[in-house]
Amino acid sequence: MNERYLFRGKRVDNGEWLEGFYVGSTHDAYIINADSFSPHFESDYVKVDPATVGQCTGMRDKHGTLIFDGDVLERSSTRLFTDVKYKMAVFFSDVKGAWGVELSNRGGETFLTDYIGNAYTLEIIGNIHDNPELLEGGGRP
């Protein structure tokens, strides 16, 4: 299965994150576990909080973990013998049609694809739903 079609959402019943296929309506959102997918069994549909649903970007961080919409990434670099860490929130830009990141401590946006060549420098450190404090300086989502 192509990872770009995976979604993630936070379960309404117990608050745990679930990855799989997304099924939504105007009022409800459901994730169907990709491993046990059967469109014929309603019991496979797990209700999730619609505000937490995010699509997989198809890209991975330096540990090989899939990056989803709403994840908070950290990029480390060294400038003039000083370690600098940038925190950024992942979002999809409807205008540009690409996955973007908002740099919380530098201002401005860039696109996640700009970092693919340096993916080894990106690390998921949380997400905007569980860890909003990670983006003290802002962040789009």
Where do the structural domains in the chain lie, given as residue ranges? 3-52, 56-135
Contacts of 27 (CB under 8 A, 6+ apart): none
pLDDT of residue 40: 60
pLDDT of residue 141: 45
pLDDT of residue 33: 76
Give the chain's residues under pLDDT 70: 1-2, 4, 34-43, 78-79, 95-96, 102-120, 136-141
pLDDT of residue 51: 92
Reading phi first (left if > 0) and then psi (alpha if -120 to 50, else beta), residue 32 is in beta
pLDDT of residue 76: 75
Query: Are 127 and 72 contacting, i.e. CB atoms less than 8 angstroms apart?
Result: yes
Query: Are 103 and 110 contacting, i.e. CB atoms less than 8 angstroms apart?
Result: yes
* Count of CB atoms situated within 10 Å of the CB of 99: 20
Question: Quick one: tokens of 87?
Answer: 């925190």
pLDDT tens readout for residues 45-58 = 889 999 999 999 88
Query: Are 60 and 119 contacting, i.e. CB atoms less than 8 angstroms apart?
Result: yes
Which runs of consecutive H residues, i.e. helices, occur in 5-46? none
* Predicted TM-score of the model (pTM): 0.80
* Torsion, Cα of 49, 54, 56, 60 (10° steps): -100
pLDDT of residue 49: 95
